[in-house]
Structures are given as C-alpha cells and as structure tokens.
Amino acid sequence: MTDRYSRQELFAPIGKEGQSKISSKHVLLIGAGALGTGIAESLVRAGIGKLTIIDRDYVEWSNLQRQQLYSEDDACNRIPKAIAAKERLEKVNSDVEIKAMVKDASSYELETMIKDEKPDLMMDATDNFDTRMMMNDISQKYRIPWIYGACVGSYGISYVILPGKTPCLNCLLESVPLGGLTCDTAGIISPAVQMVVSYQVVEALKILVEDWDSLSYKLVSFDLWKNQHTAIRVEKMKKDNCPSCGERPTYPYLSYEMQTKTAVLCGRDSVQIRPAISHERDLNQLENLLTQQGLKVEKNPYLLSVEVDNHRLVVFKDGRVLVHGTKDITEAKTLYHRYLG
C-alpha cells in the first residue's frame, strides 16, 4: 500500500513533505451528520493521523439521503452516528486512529478533551450556534484553528478562523442567531452538503500542511439552486473589544450564563430548554414555517405547540421550550435544534 497517497503527493502544494505532516496531525470533528460524514471520509482517505468524532445522535432513515457513511442497517438498529462512522472509516483506512465519542459537545466536554490531547484543527459539522460559539471561544482560548460550515436547502457557507489573525465568529455575529431554517424545516439537497464539505476540507488540508499563505481568508457562501456565489473579505470586521478574541477576552460562551439551560421537569415526562439569551419569539412566523412542512401546529397568544416525532414541543413567547414525551436531555436538545434552529 506504499502508493496509497501517491496521487495526493503528486499535487505539488502537498508533496511527500505535506503528506508526512498530514499523517502527524489530529483533527477534532464536532458532528457526524451530513457535513461531518463528508469531512470525516475526506480526511481519513487523505491520511490524517488521528480523527476524533463527537456526536450525540443516532442514525435515522432520513439521514441516508445525504449522510454518506451510513447504511440501512445503521438506521434500522439506531446505531450512534459516531460509532457507525468509526466502523465504516476503519474499513476505509486502517492506518488512521479514529476516536468516537457519543456525547453532547458541552463546553466541559470540549475543554476536558482539548486539555488532554490538544488537536491541531477543529472542524464544525454541528447543527446549532450554541456549539459553534463554544467552539469559537475554545479556539481563541487554546489557540486552535477551526473551520465553520453550515448548509440548508441549496445554501451553504464556510469560513476559516485563525486565532490571533482573522476575525472570530463572535466578531462576525456579535450574538448567537436566534431561530432560523434547519434541514428538518426547509429540507436540503446533497450537492449543497458536498460543496460545503469541499470548501471546508480544502482549507483543512492547507492548514494541516501549514500552507498558511494559500488560505482564502474569505467568508464564502452560495446558493446552488439560484446560481449565486459570494466570497467576502472580512478582515476589517475584527474587533479589538470582542469578548472572544479581543484585547481582553473573557470567552463568554464557555460560561454557564451563556449556555442553553435544560431541566427535566419533576413528575413529568418533559424537558425544559431555555436559550442563553432571552428574546421574544415570533410565534406567527414560526407557525407559518412549521405548517409549511405539514406539521400539526396549535397556537394561542402565549404559546405554540407542535407534534413532531411522537413528541410535543411547546414554544413560549419568551423563547422557552418544553419538550414533552422524554426525560432524556440529549434527545430533547436534538429535537429543539432540529425543528427550532
């Protein structure tokens, strides 16, 4: 198997030296869904030294349309995504060390893992901005590059964040986006997934071979269905007073106060989820979004209730959500991010 990477080594910007660097590096991948499976397979085929995969969910039938590592057997048996991905990837490249973690990517979990074995790069394949903002603060605190990526419908976006050099995600967003479209409310086509994966992985390879000058340093977005593509220079958006990457960072999204709060309700088969940032939810807009997906929605002036996956989600105007039909916080958070953004 001495020629496994021969075609990659023939590519001059990588070469044998670059391939040696790739095989010595460790990547932390958060999420093993559509983006995660594409990123994982590309990095494992490229010969990454070690890949750590963190994901809290299991394989479902609706995943098979775009999540390329999984089989019908995985969906039938509800195999955790991190485990199913590891088993498949080890058959692709047995030389790569793959660590699977079936866990919710909390700030505690991420910081503990990073202190024990600092990765060279973090890859975003998650489905929510709570986790992305935690990744952003950890990136700045421990000086680890990370690559943001997201897609829904035919739209995708990607951006590389280098601590101390580029604006961070907090510079660009200033606060966590509240609500928004998800794959379960707006759908998704696989070409959008593959396009984001391509942007993320090519930038990852540049970082892994330490070709810093070739990085794009632009926020890239596209809509394949509408034939639109943009690449925006964002270096001037870096803020000296940013609490995540500024001159006096406090890393706010690693604090308890800035994290989504969950609680199992006593005596009830329900979990309450409360956003870190209090806001008034537009129930009319949410009703329109959910009913367009054929979901059964009931609403009064104070709250909205929707039936999903044998559970009932009750959304209050202050942003709180009750997930009825489970006491499992991880399951409740999965439903929350899946349908409410």
CB atoms within 10 A of CB 42: 17
CB atoms within 10 A of CB 268: 11
Provide the token pair at 83: 């485990």
Cα-to-chain-centroid distance, residue 66 = 15
Q: Which residue has the higher pLDDT, 256 or 71?
A: 71
| pLDDT tens digits for range 118-161 | 999 999 998 878 889 999 999 999 999 999 999 999 999 999 99
pLDDT at site 127: 80
pLDDT at site 29: 98
Average pLDDT, the chain: 90
Q: Which residue has the higher pLDDT, 97 or 184?
A: 97
How does strand 228-233 pair with strand 218-223? antiparallel
CA–CA–CA angle 267, 268, 271 (5° rounding): 125
Q: In what order do the strands lie in the sheet with 146-152?
A: 97-102, 50-55, 26-30, 121-124, 146-152, 155-161, 218-223, 228-233
Rounded CA-CA distance 14/37 in Å is 23
SS3 305: strand
Map out the domains of the chain with their CATH numbers.
6-254 (3.40.50.720), 260-340 (3.30.310.10)
Q: What is the DSSP letter of 227?
A: T
**Is residue 151 flagged as an active site residue?**
no
pLDDT at site 162: 98
Three-state secondary structure string covering 148-159: EEEEEECEEEEE
Pick the catalytic residue from 183, 242, 245, 266.
183
Q: What is the b/e burial string over 103-123, where b = at least 16 CB atoms within 10 angstroms of the residue's CB?
A: ebbebeebbebbeeeebbbbb
Rounded to an integer, the average pLDDT of 173-186 is 65
